[in-house]
Each structure stands twice: as structure tokens, then as C-alpha cells.
A and B are shown apart, each in its own frame.
Chain A
Amino acid sequence: MKVLVPVKRVVDYNVKVRVKSDQTGVDIANVKMSMNPFDEIAVEEATRLKEKGVATEIVAVSCGVAQCQETLRTAMAIGADRAILVETQEELQPLAVAKLLKALADKEQPQLVILGKQAIDDDANQTGQMLAALLDWPQATFASKVELGDGKATVTREVDGGLETVSLTLPAIVTTDLRLNEPRYVTLPNIMKAKKKPLETVKPEDLGVDVTPRLKTLKVSEPPARQAGVKVADVAELVDKLKNEAKVV
């Protein structure tokens, strides 16, 4: 079974981004970039499926600037067999990415597409569901457990208040939640091996997809700052403040 794993290059989760003074966006010049953590979980899950003999080939895909090649090399160091970069300088919004991925899914014919539930830059939480809709495939979002067999995927999902299990007829889309697995550390020999794995580059035009952004960002601003309060000396003072000043207890 072939598994397609889309991965996104994002600002590393440890970086606190700054809004640009002209309010055109956040300043991402010279900040550390990494693979979206949820996508890393997706690559790990695909790799485990291959190690179990369920998956036969893992194809990592990224959409964006040329530097996304680094993200794809990381995916191949974890376990992807080959990679495809859809290279463009254009700002890519989730609907455009879903259309690019649909074009690649039509070509590659995977049985499973597994990707992160959300990217930690735009926090949109859309791409997987949109891809499922465009392909007319079933979906299981926010997965914490995935089992494959008999042409079906049985997926446990993290939902509000607990867990839900659904069964999907393959081909299907799964989006990952944090507890699905803990991605392995990438070893140096695997990084070296990943450099030799094939990486193909295509353009959105080659796939016949118009990626023009649909949403126009008018401005990006700092959130209203919360003022730091006071330190209290002890529990008695805390209780006094809560009762008499904040009046919340």
C-alpha cells in the first residue's frame, strides 16, 4: 500500500514570532524553520506502518519555496522513500494546497494520505478535510490510533470530552493528533541516506492548479497585551484578593 504524507515547513515551535512594524505579517527572516510537528507525527506513523509491513512505499510531499526541500529531506530521514516538492513563491492557502495534493493523489494513487491536523503557523486546521472533500474520500481527523486491514482504516479520534472510533473504507485521509505517536530522533546515517533518495520538483502549473490566494490579509497586528498583575505573599493574601478585589470566589 502506498502512503502519501504531506509536510509543511513552518517557523519552529520554539520561536516566538514578532509582528512586523508595518503590520504586513510576522517577521520570519532569519528564524529557525522546521517541519510542522503534527506532520512529523504523520511521517512517523507512515514509517511505522511500513515497518509493520502494512505500507510498501511512503511518498512525502511539500508545497512552497525551494527550501521546503530541507523539510522533505527530514521526512526521508525519518522514513519516507521519495519526495515531491511543488515549488512556488506564491503564498499558499489551505484550499490551494488541498488542490495541489489532490492532483498528486490522482497521479500517485495512494491508499492512505496521512498529515498533520493543523499547521502551527496559520493554525487553520483545514487541509486534510479539504483534500478529503476534493477526492470524495472519507476522513478521520485528530487521530490518536490508526489500524489498517481488509481495505479499511479503523481510527480513534480525539474529540471534545473523549474519544471516538470510526471505520473508513480505503482510500482515506487521516489527520494526526499529538498522542498518535512520538516521532523518533533522526540519526546521522539516516540523514546521509536521505540525501540520496529521489526528490522530484514540479510546479503548480504542471499540475493544472491555480493557487491564487482567496483570502486577502489586510493587516497582521499584535494581540491585545495582558497586563501582568501582582505577586501575593501567601495563600491568605491570595484568598483575600480573590474574594474582595477580583470577586471571583
Chain B
Amino acid sequence: MAILVVAEHDNAHLRGATLNTITAAQRLGGEVHVLVAGAGVGGAAQAAAQVAGVAKVLSADGAALAEGLAENVAAQVLALAQGYSHILFPATAYGKNVAPRVAAKLDVAQISDIVGIESADTFERPIYAGNAIATVQSADATKVITVRTTAFDAAAATGGSAPVESVPAVADSGKSSFVGREVAKSDRPELTAAKAVVSGGRGMGSAENFKLLEPLADKLGAAMGASRAAVDAGYAPNDWQVGQTGKIVAPQLYVAVGISGAIQHLAGMKDSKVIVAINKDAEAPIFGVADYGLVADLFTAVPELTKAL
């Protein structure tokens, strides 16, 4: 049976998380179809058709799908669900919002945030903030899955030439409507897709002091992140939060500045390739996972590091 990947996109382009989800789908064995549901989705559908390993793209184009409302997107997926053994979403704010609605309507369990695939019905997923990995087996006819994108490589964005098939778009549920969106404007790379991340913790002391990290992030071409403690203290915006309940990141380089290393934070970054920790407390748990630890006052070490790079 075929496997359906529900694409995350902005109508013109696919979001990176979709490519990682396609890789997970390819590991299940079966034709991979990609659903692009939105309004004016020509660009995103064409992009999906070019992804290596995609057999077919389903394009659902309609006004009700324009803003990705969960009620409508779930209805669209359900309209197509028959005939698919697996339905995969990226485990992003978008995928997490829609997938459980689909699973509940199909009366199947959802397998959230998979990090490994043992077979077509057996998956590994983190529990307790990643302090344990559960291997779970599903006996349900359809497996509804969200994929932790950092656990799977991105599929090649080019090399494929799948046909794009138009499918009828669902009507609006009439129960929810989109009011507006405030997207944080930034020239920096997106946090979950960045090659490098510079994160600050409570040790930064203030929102003002957080600016100290910007030149370092500029030098490294890094995204900015923060611990929950820093977000709770109002030093950094919520969408910078890295951890169990925030973003999960796995960049080539993760620089943790003034972060003690609570388990909830480690859950969000411990799969990074190289971890650097700068903290004045030599006993901070962050040093237990850091490849390179520097016990120093961040207010002198960060400018010095920025200058030396």
C-alpha cells in the first residue's frame, strides 16, 4: 500500500521539514505520495514533484485550505486517507495540530514524534523529555505518524519527476476562521533548519544582555535560541525556545551560553553534532553533554569568541 506524506509549505515552497518526513516515509517500503493542501499551491506542488523518491503529488487547492486551519486540513486528509497504510506529518506546530484529528476520526492511535523505524508497524519515540526511548508497535489498519525531523535526513529536493494530480478541495468547516499572523521577521536562518545555533539561558541576565549573542550568531550564520528559563524570564521570545516543549534542534554546532542544562533543555539539543557550553558554574549539567566546555564569565568570553572567529 502507498504512504501519504502531508506536506508543510507556504503555497509557493515546501518547508524543509517536509523533506525529512519524506525520507522517513521512504523507509517504510511503499510508494510515497505527497499531499499539498493549500490555496494557490502550484509552486509547492511542483517542488514536491521534484523531490527524489516521490511517486505522486496530490494537489488540493481551495480557499478553505489557505491558512492551514486544522479542521479543514484534517478533513482534506481524511477525504484521501483510504488506501494508505501510513499517513505521515512532520512533528512541527503544523503537523502536531492536524495529525491527531485525522487519527481520532480514523479511530486509530497516533504515533507521535518518531525518531526511528524498526519495521512498517514498529517505531521508536522519545518519552519523558527524551530520557527514555519507547519502542511501540501499532496493530491499527492505518498508521498516523508525526516525524521528528531532526532524526531523519532531508530527501534530495531535486531529481524526481512525479506527476501532480489535482484532487477536489474540501469545503470550509464553518467552525473556525483565520484572523491573522505575526511572523517574527529575521534575517537569520530558521531555528530548526539552521546549521548553527547560539542559545542563551538565564545566565544572560536580561533581554538587553541577550543582544550580546547577536554578533556571535552573525559570525556563525547561526539562528538564535533560548532556554525555557530565559523565555520565562522574558529575555527572549517564545519561538526561540529549545527543549522538550519548544523546538527540537540538531545543528552542526550548538553554542549554549549561560545555560545550566536542565533535562528539559537537553531534550531539545543533545543530538547536535558539536556542543559548546560557556558557563561560569563549572558544575553546570550542560558540561556533561558539551564537547567543548569553557568555564568563564560569558560577558567577557562571548565578545572575545566573536572577535576570534
Contacts and interface: CB of A to CB of B under 8 A. Distances in A.
A235 B288 CA distance: 19
A236 B308 contact: yes
Interface of B: 69-71, 74, 92-94, 96-105, 107-113, 122, 126-140, 173-184, 190, 192, 196, 220, 228, 231-232, 238-239, 241, 244-245, 247, 252-253, 263-264, 270, 273-276, 282, 287-296, 301, 304-305, 308-309
B134 A229 contact: no
A218 B118 CA distance: 11
28 contacts: A11-B128, A94-B100, A94-B109, A95-B104, A95-B107, A95-B109, A117-B245, A124-B112, A129-B101, A129-B104, A130-B101, A130-B103, A134-B105, A158-B238, A159-B93, A161-B239, A166-B176, A169-B175, A169-B176, A178-B232, A213-B109, A221-B133, A221-B135, A222-B133, A231-B292, A236-B308, A238-B294, A246-B292
A208 B96 CA distance: 28
B132 A19 contact: yes
A23 B42 CA distance: 48
B297 to A, nearest CB: 11
Interface stretch (A46-54, A58-66, A105-113, A135-143): A135-143
Nearest to B108: A214
A94 B133 contact: no
B305 A235 contact: yes
Interface of A: 11, 13, 16-17, 19, 26, 38, 93-95, 98, 117-118, 120-134, 137-142, 144, 154, 157-169, 172, 177-179, 213-223, 226, 228-232, 234-236, 238-239, 241-242, 246, 248-249
The 7 A-B residue pairs whose C-beta atoms are closest, nearest first, are: A129-B100, A229-B291, A214-B109, A130-B104, A138-B176, A133-B104, A138-B175
Main DSSP-derived SS at the B contact region: mixed
